[in-house]
Structure 1
Amino acid sequence: MPVTAFAIRSALGELSLSGRALCVHSSLRTFGHVEGGADTVVSALLAEGCTVLVPTFSYGFGIAPPPGSRPAQNGWDYGKKVESPGAGRLFVSATNEVDADMGAVPAAVLARANRARGRHPLDSFAALGPLADALVSGQTPLDVYAPLRALASMGGWIVLMGVGLERLTLLHAAEQRAGRRLFRRWANGLGGPEEVECGGCSEGFGSLEPALSSLARRARVGASPWVAYPAAETLDAAAAAIRADPEITRCGRSGCDGCADAVAGGPLCAAQLGS
């Protein structure tokens, strides 16, 4: 049977999420056939009184590390030649550009005329609904996870729709809360190249599931398993787990610079290196 707006709204009610601010991470294909596609998902969330927050990352605005702005322990191999897709390009919040791997629901949010989008050129968030501006207005290039802290402060929730913890961006904010410095990447600003904050490897985040399981609420929509987590409590629980065992976030890939440097604490500036 096709998934309808009614089924989506019913699941939100079952999870007691009606009227709440929700950060949605989703894989539309896991639903099966959805009548009206991603736009139906967005409309159903709004009809249930929710404010919808989604990641709208756009690495097509990234540039190569400028000489003289290359911190150590930054999850980056500076000796490797890299593409600079954002050369000559400047991100503005009005753009609807988003990486294809973000999925159909973030693209559908961006297509709405009344959406709000943060000011981070690579890792922006976009929102729709009554609390949209309050969620994203604080995001800047050097405060990438301000929307997630805002979500937590207003009692919001995260909903994973057919995806796992490796897609839960809030866990990067938990790394930061646990004391890790976020990685630095680069994009064009009005005055030239600028540093921006970004998260790193998230493929090991599934190891945090035991620390978060007591917070989870579960439902199913079509073939899609949904898991919902309260943002504030999840942020606290994940940060505590990372402080207790820094290795818990490490992925299984041998030689992952992102994991190694994150576990070591993140980028080192000149002062931290003692120079």
Structure 2
Amino acid sequence: MYKTIPDTLINLGHPNKPVCLHTSLRSFGWVEGGAETIINSFLDLDCTILVPTFSYDFYAAPPENQRLVRNGCGDYSSFINNSDTKIFTTDTNLIDEDMGVIPETILNMKGRIRGNHPINSFTAIGPLAEELISEQHPTNVYGPLKKLVELNGSAILMGVGLESLTLLHLAEEMAGRELFRRWAKDSNGSTIMVEVGGCSEGFHKFNQILSDITKDVKVGKSSWRILEVEPLLDVAQQAIKENPQITHCDDPDCGRCNDAVEGGPIQL
């Protein structure tokens, strides 16, 4: 397994490039050395790895004067009783379990750099890590992905579907939608408003649209889908402009999808 990943990256021209990974370790079957073997296969080729390391434990209750309309929150009843006072710092290794083993492993590695976003942080490791991550802050949640475009990066889905592809949320923003707002504590303990994405359960609808710019490869037991970031965003944002419903999940009552299709929150 360790040899097949470098061979794949070399054949696809990916050495030295930044890559955003969305991963399922289980998709590989048994791998000697586990997640670290897969991660080091990229790092040994001077790739920089970018992964989402979201942490919803840092949610705070929304101030009454910041409860925006069309914000994917309904009447805010699920948020107003949140009295959690956890304070996020970029040094913390707290991450939601559903992010997966590979992002969690990277978050615990020496030299990793975590973005300054209490809920939807990205973490990078490798030569371009600081350059990628420095763009992220609470009101620029997808800064690392925007920098990934500038650096001619790519995205790799390793055993997961388009529902995991955070870049499609950036495509929503580029298509003119306002991102949803949530709340967390800053380093001083004050409640701040932060940008977040919405529902991604409908992103499978982009499968056909993105097929022409997708490279499908098999690495061991894991099925990979590789997409260059810039053309991906160009195609996806145009598709959203032409058919806003394309991002909607299969639940007609999904508040986040309904509000996103309408354009997202209305600013105060």
TM-score by length of 1: 0.94
Equivalence for 1:143: 140
Equivalence for 1:218: 216
Where do residues 146-185 of structure 1 align in structure 2 (5 Å cutoff)?
A: 146-185=143-182
Aligned letter for 1:171? L
Residues of 1 paired with 2:189 and 2:104: CA distance? 29
**C-alpha contact (below 8 Å) 1:15/1:217 kept by paired residues:** no
Cα deviation, residue 85, structure 1: 6.4
Q: Are the structure 2 counterparts of residues 118 and 84 from structure 1 closer, same or farther at C-alpha, using a change threshold of 3 Å?
A: farther
Aligned letter for 2:232? T
Cα deviation, residue 96, structure 1: 0.9
SS in structure 2 at match of 1:252: coil
Q: Are the structure 2 counterparts of residues 48 and 85 from structure 1 closer, same or farther at C-alpha, using a change threshold of 3 Å?
A: farther
**C-alpha contact (below 8 Å) 2:54/2:95 kept by paired residues:** yes
Aligned residues: 267
Q: Are the structure 2 counterparts of residues 187 and 84 from structure 1 closer, same or farther at C-alpha, using a change threshold of 3 Å?
A: farther
Select 1:240's aligned residue among 231, 238, 241. Answer: 238
Residues of 2 paired with 1:102 and 1:59: CA distance? 11
Q: Per-residue displacement from partner, 1:229-269 (whole Å, max 9, x unpaired)? A: 00111111100110011111111013000100000000012
Matched, 1:74 2:71: yes
SS in structure 1 at match of 2:4: helix
Residues of 1 paired with 2:222 and 2:81: CA distance? 36
Matched, 1:99 2:91: no
Q: Per-residue displacement from partner, 1:87-136 (whole Å, max 9, x unpaired)? A: 22110001111110000110111111101111000000000111000000
Aligned letter for 2:158? M
Cα deviation, residue 222, structure 1: 1.9
Residues of 1 paired with 2:12 and 2:161: CA distance? 18
Matched, 1:20 2:32: no
Cα deviation, residue 86, structure 1: 7.1
Q: Are the structure 2 counterparts of residues 86 and 198 from structure 1 closer, same or farther at C-alpha, using a change threshold of 3 Å?
A: farther
Equivalence for 1:37: 34
Equivalence for 2:126: 129
Aligned letter for 1:164? G
Residues of 2 paired with 1:86 and 1:53: CA distance? 31
**C-alpha contact (below 8 Å) 1:15/1:219 kept by paired residues:** no
Give unmatched runs, 5+ long, in structure 2.
none
Residues of 2 paired with 1:43 and 1:169: CA distance? 23
Aligned letter for 1:29? R
Where do residues 103-114 of structure 1 align in structure 2 (5 Å cutoff)?
A: 103-114=100-111
Residues of 2 paired with 1:142 and 1:84: CA distance? 24
Cα deviation, residue 13, structure 1: 2.0
Where do residues 48-67 of structure 1 align in structure 2 (5 Å cutoff)?
A: 48-67=45-64
Q: Aligned-pair RMSD on alpha carbons?
A: 1.4
Aligned letter for 1:258? R
Residues of 1 paired with 2:103 and 2:127: CA distance? 17
Aligned letter for 1:244? E
Cα deviation, residue 80, structure 1: 2.5
Cα deviation, residue 83, structure 1: 7.8
SS in structure 1 at match of 2:145: helix
Give unmatched runs, 5+ long, in structure 1.
271-275
Residues of 2 paired with 1:221 and 1:83: CA distance? 46
TM-score by length of 2: 0.96
SS in structure 2 at match of 1:68: helix
Select 1:229's aligned residue among 224, 227, 230. Answer: 227
